[in-house]
Amino acid sequence: MLEILQYGFMQRALLAGIVAGALCPLIGIFLVLRRMSLIGDSLSHIALSGIAAGILMNIYPVGTALLFSVGAALAIERLRKAYAQYAELAIAILLSAGIGTAVVLISFARGMNIDLFSYLFGSIATVLEEDLILIFLLGIWILLSVKFLYKELFYIAFDEEAARLAGIPVKWINRYFIILVAMTITLSMRVIGILLVSSLIVLPVATSLQISKNFKQATLLSVFFAEIAVISGIFISYYLEIASGGTIVLLSVILMLFVLIGKGFLKRLRRTVYG
């Protein structure tokens, strides 16, 4: 099995996947606790607009996707304040704008369907050296940001108003965090795919929350489950010649079902043993 690592594209895909497998659940656990898990879908559709724009203008698509998604992330945070009583509207508005813009841009170009397909569903063969450099540089930045803002993000996730009263600059941290979310989605789409990246943000977190006893344990377990799905998915997608993104997401679902079934079995076993 390991002989496939002699290929450069597999090395790049595996390295990019490992970074994505760490970033997505690390960001995702804060989104889930803040009931903003659907923001991944919104920003991924905005990223699709950026990809289409990049291909249309014949410039680096990942760069334009990053610009589009970061801009949209800031817009979502602004709209969340404008619709304070209906915060989910901000996500729905940007989701609609993103998919609408993407469809219009795609209609302008006739010959980019093949390029778009790899971005939509993920492809291990399309991770370029410049992609890997960008993923590593921004990935390190995101990891360091979460490390240094961990306590503040934790506090805000559970009680934003109390965090504000405690002197935490909630407004600026929220803006910075939403930018980190946009960056994570853009960096992960090469391996996982634009349409599926939000699943890797949510599913490992959902799995870890079933068995974890505290927040730190939930964070570590979510990264663990994500890495299992990503690494296994990359190898399976190579041998079966299928899209890596779909394979990774299906493995994430299988892991979640396995944990849920195992947890239910243990509960029934305890009732049987202890009456």
pLDDT digit string (tens) for 95-128?
788 888 877 887 776 655 556 777 777 777 778 8
Look at residue 138 and tell me if it is in a domain: yes
Look at residue 212 and tell me if it is in a domain: no
Q: Is the pLDDT of residue 192 over 70?
A: yes
* pLDDT-wise least confident of 145-149, 159-163, 181-185, 217-221: 159-163
Write the CATH number for 55: 1.10.3470.10
- Residue 141: what pLDDT? 94
**C-beta separation of 43 from 181 below 8 A:** yes
Calpha distance 26→202 (Å, rounded): 10
- Residue 232: what pLDDT? 92
Look up residue 27 and give its amino acid. I
- pLDDT band at 246, cuts 50/70/90? confident
**C-beta separation of 126 from 190 below 8 A:** yes
Look at residue 58 and tell me if it is in a domain: yes
Look at residue 253 and tell me if it is in a domain: no
Q: Is the pLDDT of residue 81 over 80?
A: no
- pLDDT band at 258, cuts 50/70/90? very high
Calpha distance 61→48 (Å, rounded): 9
Report phi then psi at 194, rounded to 5: -60, -45
Burial of 48 (0-12, 13-18, 19+ CB in 10 A): buried
State pTM to two decimals: 0.87
What does the mean pLDDT of the chain come to?
83
Number of folded domains that form the chain: 1
Q: Give the mean pLDDT of 132-138.
A: 89
Look at residue 210 and tell me if it is in a domain: no
> CB-hemisphere CA count at 13 Å for 92?
5
3-class DSSP assignment, residue 186: helix
Look at residue 215 and tell me if it is in a domain: no
Q: Say which residues have a Cβ less than 8 Å from residue 129's Cβ, sequence separation at least 6.
A: 12
Q: Describe the chain by its helix, strand, coil percentages, rounded to 5.
A: 85, 0, 15
Look at residue 38 and tell me if it is in a domain: yes
Q: Give the mean pLDDT of 205-228.
A: 91
Residues of the domain holding 20:
2-195
Look at residue 216 and tell me if it is in a domain: no
Query: What's CA 173's distance to the chain center, in Å?
Result: 19
